[in-house]
Structure 1
Amino acid sequence: MFRPQLLLLTSDSYRRQREPLGLEDLVAACTVLKSLDGAPQFVIYNGGPTAGASRQHKHLQVLPRPPRLFPDDQNDSKAVPYRYFLRYLHGIDLESAEGRTKLFEIYNGLLAEAKQSLGEDLEDNGYIPHNVALVKEWIVVIPRRNIEVEGVTANTAGMMGSVWLTSEEEMDRWKQVGPKTVLAGLGVPA
């Protein structure tokens, strides 16, 4: 797993991981991204158990940014096996209140697209299972249909290509089922 790994907790212990991100969550994420400017980071959110959340208390994770994530190259034509909703943040000042409000609006728009893509698979209780990855240049929201496929699971980092495994058996299972099959089954197939 990544080291160091930071956990951003809400100040209200009644907030739950099934809830969408709020403006205050994104403000905290932007603050941390700016404060760690010397070492590139990315922020992830596992929106509920279906999206790979392992804890019920609402939190975000801050991880060292891998050298390349698929949204980094706008001209990359490699197919991602699931639907995702991406916005580049060019021209948005994430250090200003106005920029952070704009990011919150963008997130809500992406979340609405994710909700629509889930269609009838969505429970009628307001919970929208989704993953979020945020860097200073872009934000991506990934709708989630399943917590696991053939015994294999992933959180946001896994959906972005950094799968967290605890054993050789888990690695063998990923290889057996196939990463594209797993990722398409966890999300909404592209």
Structure 2
Amino acid sequence: MAQGKILLKPGTLWTSVKERTNHALQCGALLSILTEFEFVEQDGVRFLVRILSNLNRKKAAKEKQEKQSVISGEEFNPFLPYEEDLFVADISDTHVCIFNKYNVVDYHLLIVTRTFQEQESLLNLEDFAAMWACLADFDGLVFYNSGKNAGASQRHKHLQLVPLPLASSGPQIPIEPLLTATQFQDSNATLTKLPFIHAFAPLNPDWMESPFTAAQATLEVYRTLLGAVGLDARQLGAYNLLATREWMLIVPRRQEHFQSISVNSLGFAGALLVRNAAEMEILKAQGPMTILKNVAIS
């Protein structure tokens, strides 16, 4: 198969993000969801917990999406076509970068396939090439919610990218203190303080120089990690993938929710979202790491 083509010019993504953010806000396409936050500590991790100030925007959007699906008789796909005012940049001949319309985190980007692919399908060479093309110019956390039980809200395949640091103080990513306690068995690594099934591997930041070379190496790491946690490519269960320039983490999922609290990949980075004070009380009473253990596989 012929190698795809990277369209994103090096050094241009961050400039495009800032320019396009101003445009998307001014024309009303980007509808940021306001939150407050606090830190909740458990098991050596200072979890960043955001509480929604106003859920009405997201709720109204979901109702609108459901109404459009009923009218058309087909499931509404916000990525095909995507909203032009949310466009950030062309990444490659297979992927485009757009804003997350209802963003909780500033500069929250989506790396979306140009043609429809299922969100539960395996990541491939083109997905990882697009990821590295973005990471070369945008130091961030990439994540992939594979399947509804992993927190996926759309069926159309998309990786997500948020800038680092995730929090204004402390480590760039709240779980980073645990990344130093790594136990290797053969070529597979586990983080000794994570109380659920997972697999971890270092990545080489130098790979950024060539997205497709990086993608090939990353694809091999990805397949190894899937095997290490018992995810069979033929019958793939739900899982979360997190990646930075330096590492990759995969966590298989048992369920999306702990009581009413929804958890996606960001939860396993140490960043959780609750909808109201009642959910915050549940989170504090149970402990954030306990919640992760319950939605993952122990």
TM over 0.5: yes
Q: Is the 8 A contact 2:174 2:271 kept in 1?
A: no
Give the number of the structure whose alpha-carbon radius of gyration is greater: 2
- Matches for 1:23-102 after TM superposition, within 5 Å: 23-36=125-138, 40-65=139-164, 66=166, 67-71=172-176, 74-76=179-181, 79-90=193-204, 93-96=207-210, 97-102=212-217
> In the alignment, which of 134, 138, 141 is matched to residue 243 of structure 2?
134
The answer for the alignment partner of 1:119 in structure 2 is none
Alignment of 1:172 onto 2:269: no
Give the TM-score normalised by the residue count of structure 1: 0.83
Aligned to 2:119: 17
- Give the one of 134, 143, 147 matched to 2:252: 143
Range moving further from structure 2, 15-24 or 72-81: 72-81
State the one-letter code of the partner of 1:25: D
Alpha-carbon distance in 1 for matches of 2:143, 2:197: 17
Shift of 1:83: 2.1
Identity level (%): 27
Q: Within the alignment, does 1:184 sit opposite 2:289 as a pair?
A: no
Q: Distance in 1 between matches of 2:204 and 2:160?
A: 23
The TM-score normalised by the length of structure 2 is 0.55
The 1:44–1:72 alpha-carbon spacing in structure 2 relative to 1, beyond 3 Å, is farther
Does the residue aligned with 2:105 lie in a helix, a strand or coil? coil
Instruction: Flag as ranges the 4+ runs of structure 1 deviating above 3 A.
Output: 71-74
Contact 1:71–1:138 (8 Å) recurs in 2:
no
Asked whether the equivalents of residues 135 and 208 of structure 2 are also in contact (C-alpha less than 8 Å), the reply is no
Deviation at 1:72, TM superposition (A): 6.5
1-side partners of 2:154 and 2:119: how far apart? 7
Q: Name stretches of at least 5 consecutive residues in structure 2 with no aligned partner.
A: 1-103, 167-171, 183-191
Which residue number in structure 1 is paired with residue 228 of structure 2? Answer: 113
Aligned equivalents of 2:177, 2:213: Cα separation in 1: 24
- In structure 1, the residue matched to 2:91 is none
More strand by percentage: 2
Stretch moving more, 43-52 or 147-156? 147-156
Residues 1:20 and 1:73: Cα distance change in structure 2 (over 3 Å): same
The 1-side partners of 2:207 and 2:153 are apart by: 32
Contact 2:240 2:251 in 1 (8 A): yes
Number of matched residues? 179
Q: How big is the shift at 1:138?
A: 0.7
Query: CA separation in 1, counterparts of 2:228 and 2:203?
Result: 17
Give the AA of the match of 1:32: C
* In 2: Cα distance, 1:10 partner to 1:63 partner: 18
